Chains A and B, each alone.
Chain A
Amino acid sequence: MDPRPSTILRIAQPLRSLVQRFTYLGLVVAAFGLMLIGKIDTVIVDRVRAEVINGTAPILDALSRPIQTVHELIDTASSAIDMRAENERLREENVRLLQWQMVARKLQADNTALSKLLQVVPETPATYMSARVIASARGTYGNSMVLNAGSAHGVRKGQAVLGEAGFIGRIADVSSRASRVLLLTDVSSRIPVVLEASRARALLVGGNVNRPRLVFVTPGTRISPSERIVTSGDGNAFPAGLPVGVVASVTDNSIEVQLFADYDRLEYVRIGDFGLDGLVDRHAAGDAR
């Protein structure tokens, strides 16, 4: 071999490791800086996040499909096995629901009559859009889901997202073809709620664990387990009355809530447009979306 490259190498090698060491330090500092920026200015981070989600959405969409298909197959097979028992159960449930339907009809008639009598301002009728969950990250470091609907489909930041059984979260980032839902269990989620029976107001606060907690409960309220919790509509960000969950446990220092929504089984969700532009949108007024 030519002796020259080896001489160059002898000088270049320590230089290279020095440069590498500096790059390493630089990147560590950059990561720290990103964490700080994320703490100070969430708008920039949200926008970058939205763009990355937009870019990866087609891949995530493709990846989530086979798993869902397998899941559906298993579901079909297991429902075929206990079809008889299921049929029996549904029959009973149907009888019960028919009674409820009568009650609901009567209540609705009463409600309409009373509203007319009192000249209540009618609420804007809601429109819903269904979207598929294409990614989901839940745990100690964050709780969110990515949906395959974005601003191109009419999704806007701050809209309420509902699962089969109840409220699951709000739209946090929107890109053109995908959006991210901040779940109620996320540590940065704060939702004004009301206890259905006592009408006491509270704030539902996530903690990156399965059960969010209630804080700032109206003083002097007696809270009993299994009391239903619905959104209060305060702040005009979400409509009142979306089902959230039930009180699971009451201890001296925390009130835990069991959510109606089963995050493990969510495949499709509904994004509700209630014609509201409350706190969330006003807060994000600087955001171009």
Chain B
Amino acid sequence: MNVAFWQRIDQSARGVTPFLLSVGLVLLSVVPLPMPGFAPIVPAFALMSIYHWAIYRPNLMPLSAVFVLGLLYDLLTGAPVGLFTLVFLTVYGVALTQRRFIAGKSFFIYWFGFAIIALGAAIESWALASLWHLTLLDTQAVLFQYLVALGIFPLVAWIFLKWQQTLLIER
């Protein structure tokens, strides 16, 4: 039990926080909020988290974690199982390929990147769900959900950036 051991424990404990934060965001999406009309447009908060960590610390958000988050989201929200698992994986994959264009640039570019990727995710999830149910689902709520996600993103991203700067300093 030397110092190095505890340091390693400390490091790995810090390392799982991105995943735990994301689980928290998945749960936040299903907390009943008594706000009239808000429920159908509550965004998938976890999407922001996956985007953020894929851009800044993909090593702390491995593929398996993304899969688990998507599955948890599907199971809790009552969406077709696998739907958001697939959407989360797509977002992660796309964000990974674009990370050198986005990481470390201005906040605006970071936000803009999210806007594009989240739009793709919204279209993908709508298309998959429509295909799964074999009906054309309502597009209006999807659009508003997307806009709400865009609006909330800076707040969530700011928390993540602060978290990353204070707790996850790379050595």
Task: Give chain A's interface residues, CB within 8 Å of chain B.
Answer: 20, 23-24, 27-28, 30-39, 45, 48-49, 52-53, 56, 59-60, 63-64, 67-68, 71, 133-146, 172, 180, 182, 186-188, 207-210, 263-267
List A contacts of B30 (CB < 8 A): 60, 135-137, 146
A43 smallest CB distance to B (angstroms): 13
Is A28 a contact partner of B89 (Cβ separation < 8 A)? yes
List A contacts of B77 (CB < 8 A): 137, 141-142, 144
Closest to A173 in B: B78
List A contacts of B83 (CB < 8 A): 35, 141
Interface residue from A31, A39, A146, A263 paired with B86 (Cβ < 8 Å): A31
Chain B contact-residue range equals 35 or more
B56 smallest CB distance to A (angstroms): 18
Interface check B132, CB cutoff 8 A:
yes
Is B135 a contact partner of A207 (Cβ separation < 8 A)? yes
CA of A64 to CA of B32, assembled, Å: 7
Interface check B160, CB cutoff 8 A:
no
B8 smallest CB distance to A (angstroms): 19
Is A52 a contact partner of B129 (Cβ separation < 8 A)? no
Residues of chain B from 128 to 171 with CB closer than 8 A to chain A in the complex = 128-129, 132-133, 135, 137-138, 141-142, 145
Interface residue from A36, A67, A136, A264 paired with B37 (Cβ < 8 Å): A264
List A contacts of B78 (CB < 8 A): 49, 137, 141-144, 172, 180, 182, 186
Interface residue from B35, B67, B79, B86 paired with A264 (Cβ < 8 Å): B35
CA of A28 to CA of B64, assembled, Å: 11
Task: Give chain B's interface residues, CB within 8 Å of chain A.
Answer: 27-42, 63-64, 66-67, 70-72, 75-86, 89-90, 93, 125-126, 128-129, 132-133, 135, 137-138, 141-142, 145
CA of A163 to CA of B156, assembled, Å: 34
List A contacts of B138 (CB < 8 A): 140, 207-209
3 nearest A-B residue pairs (beta carbon):
A34-B82, A142-B78, A144-B78
List A contacts of B125 (CB < 8 A): 141
CA of A34 to CA of B64, assembled, Å: 15
A13 smallest CB distance to B (angstroms): 14
- Among A39, A68, A180, find the residue whose CB has the most chain B CB atoms closer than 10 A: A39
Q: A24-B89, A31-B86, A208-B138 are in contact. Are A56 and B27 (CB under 8 A)?
A: yes
Is B75 a contact partner of A67 (Cβ separation < 8 A)? no
CA of A260 to CA of B126, assembled, Å: 28
Is B42 a contact partner of A139 (Cβ separation < 8 A)? yes
Interface residue from B33, B36, B79, B133 paired with A67 (Cβ < 8 Å): B33
List B contacts of A23 (CB < 8 A): 63-64
List A contacts of B79 (CB < 8 A): 137, 141-142
Is B132 a contact partner of A139 (Cβ separation < 8 A)? no
Interface residue from A38, A60, A144, A182 paired with B27 (Cβ < 8 Å): A60
A266 smallest CB distance to B (angstroms): 8
List B contacts of A142 (CB < 8 A): 77-80
Q: A36-B82, A52-B72, A141-B129 are in contact. List 16 more A-B contacts (CB 8 A).
A: A20-B63, A27-B67, A31-B82, A32-B82, A39-B80, A56-B72, A63-B28, A137-B76, A139-B39, A139-B41, A139-B141, A144-B77, A145-B32, A210-B40, A264-B39, A265-B36
Is B67 a contact partner of A263 (Cβ separation < 8 A)? no
List B contacts of A52 (CB < 8 A): 72, 75-76
Is A138 a contact partner of B39 (Cβ separation < 8 A)? yes
